Amino acid sequence: MMRNQVPNADAQVLPAYTLDDLDLSSLRRLKELTDQRYPAQNMAAMSDADFLIRTGAATRNRKTGEFMLKAGTLLFLGKTNVIRELFPHFHLDYFEFKNGSGHRWDHRISDDDYLTGEINILTFFEKVMNRLQAIVQEPFALDENLMRRPDSGWTATALREALVNSLVHADYQT
């Protein structure tokens, strides 16, 4: 992993890319999530450009005033076809198999499926997490009062962390 590491690849500034290259639904979703997490900052009220600059997802050229996205922002919020312009090997694919079904896969979430809307890292993460949470079975256990004990959430947490790590550490360059 260290050999293939490209330090700060996601911080690369992209002068030729604009807000038009981002999926606006994904950007709205990120603003909503950020505003829920940090309500005192009132980031939902910011313009899209100001929000991205404030969160470090974009920058402004101090000499020209030009708004510039960063590569990681394009991966996280971009339109699928625009992401592939910069990252031609970009491919996100989640699929489930059932033993004996005879199918190549039984459920799939992929950036190749244009019927599901734009697929970037944010939309892929949310779709896969929703699927994982729906299929993870809660273990049955009783507490000392013989009441059903709720799942500790460890399974969902472990799956979320595994998904995040696989997306964050993926090599989108090759």
Residues 7, 87, 71, 79, CA torsion sign? negative
CB atoms within 10 A of CB 72: 20
Residues in the chain: 174
Cα 31-48-66 angle, rounded to 5 deg: 145
Structure confidence at residue 151 (pLDDT): 64
Q: What secondary structure letter does DSSP report for 100?
A: T
Q: Provide CB contacts within 8 A for 86, sequence distance 6+.
A: 14, 17, 71, 74
Structure confidence at residue 6 (pLDDT): 61
Identify each DSSP E strand in the chain by its residue range.
Answer: 13-14, 58-60, 67-70, 93-96, 107-110
Q: How far from 166 is each of 23, 125, 163, 172, CA to CA, in Å?
A: 22, 10, 5, 11
Structure confidence at residue 3 (pLDDT): 44
Query: Residue 19: which of 80, 76, 85, 67 has the closest Cα?
Result: 67
pLDDT tens track for 44-90: 899 999 999 999 999 999 999 999 999 999 999 999 999 999 999 99
Structure confidence at residue 153 (pLDDT): 64
Residues in the chain where the model's pLDDT stays below 50:
1, 3
In single-letter form, the type of residue at position 83 comes to I
Structure confidence at residue 8 (pLDDT): 72
pTM for this model (two decimals): 0.84
Structure confidence at residue 1 (pLDDT): 46
Structure confidence at residue 102 (pLDDT): 75
